[in-house]
Structure formats: C-alpha cells, structure tokens
Amino acid sequence: MLKNIWKDPVWSKVISAAFLWLITLGYAYVKSITDSISIKQAVSQLSEPRVSVLQILLGITVILFLYFVIREIGKPIESNGKASIYNDKQTILMRLNKVEYPNEGVLFRWQVFFDFNGNPFIDELDAYCTKHGSTPLRFIDNSCSVRDCSNSQRQVDFNATKNQLESELIDKWEKLNN
Ligand SMILES: [Zn+2]
C-alpha cells in the first residue's frame, strides 16, 4: 500500500512535506520540554535566525537519512515497474509451486514464502486428484472425495509431503545462490 503511494510524484511531495512537519513539530516538542516553554514558543524560536549551526547540521542529517530510506523503499518499483518486494531469485523459486505424479493421479500445489532470514518455506499445500477430467479435483480430508476412485481409498501424508517438497525447495534455493 505504502509502496504504491510513492509512484505518484504529487503524493511523494505531500508525504515529504508531512515528514518535514513531523520532524519540526517533534523537535519543537522536545525543545518545549527541555527549555520549559510552550510548543508555540518553540516553533517560533525555530523560525528565528538564532538556530545554531549544530541544529542546522542535525536537520540536514535527518533529512538526508530520510531521503535515503525513502529511496531504498522505492527502489523495487523503479527497477521493474511494479511493486514487487521479491528479487529475481525469489521470483524463480516462487514459480516452483506445483508437482504432478501422473502414475498416482495426484497433483500438489503450494505457495512459496520467505521467512525473516530470507529462507524459503512452503505453505497452503493442497493435493488434487487428476483422474476426473481436465480440471484437477481438490482432495477433501487428505483423500479424493470421489467414490470408488483409487485416491479415495488412501490418504496423503501432508506432513511428510510438505517436508519432502520443502527439502527440495531448500536444495534448489541453495543451488540458485551458489
Ligand atoms: Zn479421484
């Protein structure tokens, strides 16, 4: 949501101005406490030329810091034109989200996510039966819901399957990064 805002130059100007106001008000608030004066006095003091060189340097440092932070946030948008938070290797890995076992008549679909350390993991793993026409039919309660289907006679072990698929995913991830 925030990333989309930065695409629009008008919005980014408004937000920059709001940031500056927040910094000014924050500084005035701290100054009003430390100098035991009202916020109004602190703000009017800020607009007087008595502001020290140190304060100006501090202000420039804060603005530069925010500029670089905002630029880093906006980077993925500039590089590929859409608000992707994933890099190229992550995108490749995220496409590995299904596998079919034709002999078993089973298809697995899942989503690839990345944890805070950047390691991939699998979630939303679902099994589908491919023995009923062109559209794979999702399992209900670990097996095919169609009577007399061979996949309704046995149950998928989701924990073991997830572990195996995730192990393969981690292996591919390591090879991508070496
Ligand atoms: Zn079936």
Neighbours of 42 (CB within 10 A): 20
Cβ burial, residue 74 (10 Å; 0-12/13-18/19+): middle
Distance CA 32, CA 27 (A): 9
> Helix (H, G, I), strand (E, B), or coil: what is residue 169?
helix
Closest CA to 114 of 92, 86, 95: 86
> Domain spans of the chain?
2-80, 88-176
Q: What amino acid is encoded at 173 in this protein?
A: W
Helices 9-34 and 53-80: crossing angle in degrees, nearest 10, is 150
Distance CA 118, CA 137 (A): 33
pLDDT tens per residue across all 178 residues of the chain = 455 555 566 677 777 778 888 887 888 888 888 888 887 777 777 666 666 777 788 889 999 998 888 877 766 554 555 556 788 889 999 999 999 999 999 999 999 999 988 899 999 999 999 999 999 999 999 999 999 999 999 899 999 999 999 999 999 999 999 8
Ligand 1 centroid to residue 37 C-alpha, Å: 77
Ligand 1 centroid to residue 109 C-alpha, Å: 16
Distance CA 114, CA 137 (A): 28
Distance CA 112, CA 90 (A): 9
Ligand 1 centroid to residue 39 C-alpha, Å: 72
Residue 116 in tokens: 């805070």
Ligand 1 centroid to residue 111 C-alpha, Å: 23
Ligand 1 centroid to residue 143 C-alpha, Å: 8
Helices 39-47 and 9-34: crossing angle in degrees, nearest 10, is 110
CA–centroid distance for 41 within its chain: 43
Q: What pTM was computed for the model?
A: 0.53
Ligand 1 centroid to residue 98 C-alpha, Å: 18
